[in-house]
């Protein structure tokens, strides 16, 4: 992103065709092939204008060069595909189940060995930097919202050829830019905050190294992991409002987190903006904003948490996150997430009026069936 343009202005102005007579917004281009000659030939190989606009916008935000994919997992799979046989992979203990599943599947086929490291174990991560071929971080993590010490980990000497990647979806490129901390790769699930409207699947991988950029583009082409025309159009349209959506939603998230922390039917509230959060100081140091995701444990077991979800009227009981509407789900009910507290709910705060959100939450929490107090 070029100086002195602000993030807010970049989001609105980047990725546009400024030639006279061009559409103000990049239109969807529903074409699989093009008239041969100079320029594009086949969209799986050469892309469409929508891809290029999305990659320009996100690349500028993250501070590198971007490759768009059909989903965030498609982009992450392309990164894993760069690893030679017999590699060592370091993953956080609190990790998105899709990535954990990908790593486990590769290990079962002998492609790599997986080591799990606690997000807060900075010394453990520094040690893994010397032996792992892929150091994979989530910060804040999903769904415990733990913040890793990116500066210390990224500064550690790495094994020759190793890749250090950060899933930056929860923070967004507005609140955190991993490449500026020294990471090699930053990933955004475009499905979440970038698109922002629960209407698309997509992913973007941003890197600093030209060779890695070319390798990821080739991996996308060979795997056919190309984003759809409509999806990229929607993603570009959605990202234009990222700054205003994020500002509103994370302001509401702070208010809700503070109130949830005092609620009699909530036993634990996790939000990086709370002083009680285990990695609050790291969040203050590293993040420009604390984000829109809160996780909290309902007093009681899984049935109590399920009752809260069923009792909500404004907040949607749905998976995924980062959209204009607030969503909630019990994460331990998701395959691969059984290790989480059974009554943990992950709340993605949207742009609704905060007092309406609180009324909905408070009512559902107060209607939880009475459980014995310890």
SS3 per-residue string spanning the chain: CCCCCCHHHHHHHCCCCCCCCCCCCCCCCCCCECCCCCCCCEHHHHCCHHHHHHHHHHHHHHCCEEEEECCHHHHHHHHHCCCCCCEEEEEECCCCHHHHHHHHHHHHCCCEEEEEECCCCHHHHHHHHCCCCEEEEECCCCCCCCCCCHHHHHHCCCCCCCEEEEECCCCHHHHCCHHHHCCCEEEEEHHHHHCCCCCCCCEEEEECCHHHHHHHHHHHHHHCCCCCHHHHHHHHHHHCCHHHHHHHHHHHHHHHHHHHHCCCCEEEEECCCCCCCCCHHHHHHHCCCCCCEEEEEECCCHHHHHHHHHHCCCCEECCCCCCCCCEEEEHHHCCCCCCCCCCEEEEECCCCCHHHHHHHHHHHHHCCCCCCCC
**Which range of residues forms the domain containing residue 183?**
7-239
Q: Quick check: is 177 catalytic?
A: no
Catalytic entry in 96, 248, 297, 306: 96
- 222 and 298 co-located in one domain: no
159 is catalytic: no
Specify the CATH number for the domain of residue 277: 3.90.1150.10
271 labelled catalytic: no
Which is the catalytic residue, given 16, 40, 44, 251? Answer: 44
End residue of a domain, out of 219, 239, 259: 239
Q: Out of 239, 258, 279, pick the residue that ends a domain.
A: 239
Query: What are the pLDDT tens digits along the chain (374 aa)?
Result: 655 589 999 999 999 999 999 999 999 999 899 999 888 889 888 888 889 999 999 999 999 999 999 999 999 999 999 999 999 999 999 999 999 999 999 999 999 999 999 999 999 999 999 999 999 999 999 999 999 999 999 999 999 999 999 999 999 999 999 999 999 999 999 999 999 999 999 999 999 999 999 999 999 999 999 999 999 999 999 999 999 999 999 999 999 999 999 999 999 999 999 999 999 999 999 999 999 999 999 999 999 999 999 999 999 999 999 999 999 999 998 888 888 999 999 999 999 999 999 999 999 999 987 655 54
Catalytic residue among 133, 167, 184, 297: 167
In a domain, 374, yes or no: no
Query: Is 192 annotated in the active site?
Result: yes
Which member of 158, 177, 192, 248 is catalytic? Answer: 192
Tell me: do 307 and 235 sit in the same domain.
no
């Amino acid at each position: 992103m070029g100086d002195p343009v602000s993030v807010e202005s970049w989001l609105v102005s980047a990725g546009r065709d400024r030639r006279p007579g061009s559409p103000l917004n990049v239109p969807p281009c529903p074409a699989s092939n093009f008239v041969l000659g100079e320029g594009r030939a086949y969209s799986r190989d050469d892309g469409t204008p929508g891809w290029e606009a999305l990659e320009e916008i996100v690349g500028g935000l993250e501070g590198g060069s971007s490759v768009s994919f059909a989903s965030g997992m498609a982009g992450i799979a392309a990164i894993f595909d760069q690893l030679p046989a017999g590699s060592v992979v370091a993953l956080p203990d609190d990790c998105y189940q899709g990535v954990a599943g990908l790593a486990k599947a590769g290990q079962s086929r002998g492609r790599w060995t997986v080591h799990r490291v606690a997000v807060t174990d900075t010394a453990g991560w520094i040690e893994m930097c010397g032996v792992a071929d892929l150091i994979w971080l989530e910060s804040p993590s999903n769904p415990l919202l733990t913040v890793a010490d990116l500066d210390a980990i990224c500064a550690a000497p790495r094994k020759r050829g190793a890749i250090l990647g950060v899933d930056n979806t929860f923070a967004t490129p507005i609140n955190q830019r991993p490449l500026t901390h020294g990471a090699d790769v930053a990933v955004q699930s475009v499905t979440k905050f970038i698109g922002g409207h629960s209407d698309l699947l997509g992913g973007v991988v941003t890197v600093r190294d030209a060779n890695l950029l070319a390798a990821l583009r080739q991996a996308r082409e060979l795997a056919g992991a190309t984003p759809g025309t409509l999806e990229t159009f929607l993603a570009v349209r959605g990202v234009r409002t990222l700054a205003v959506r994020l500002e509103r939603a994370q302001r509401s998230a702070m208010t809700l987190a503070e109130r949830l922390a005092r609620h009699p039917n909530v036993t634990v509230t996790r939000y990086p903006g709370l002083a009680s959060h285990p990695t609050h100081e790291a969040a203050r140091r590293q993040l420009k904003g604390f984000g829109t995701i809160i996780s909290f444990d309902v007093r009681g077991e899984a049935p109590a948490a399920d009752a809260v979800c069923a009792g909500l009227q404004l907040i949607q009981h749905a998976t995924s996150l980062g959209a204009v509407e607030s969503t909630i789900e019990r994460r331990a009910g998701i395959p691969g997430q059984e290790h989480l507290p059974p009554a943990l709910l992950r709340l993605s705060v949207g742009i609704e009026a905060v007092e309406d959100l609180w009324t909905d939450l408070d009512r559902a929490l107060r209607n939880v069936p009475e459980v014995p107090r310890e």
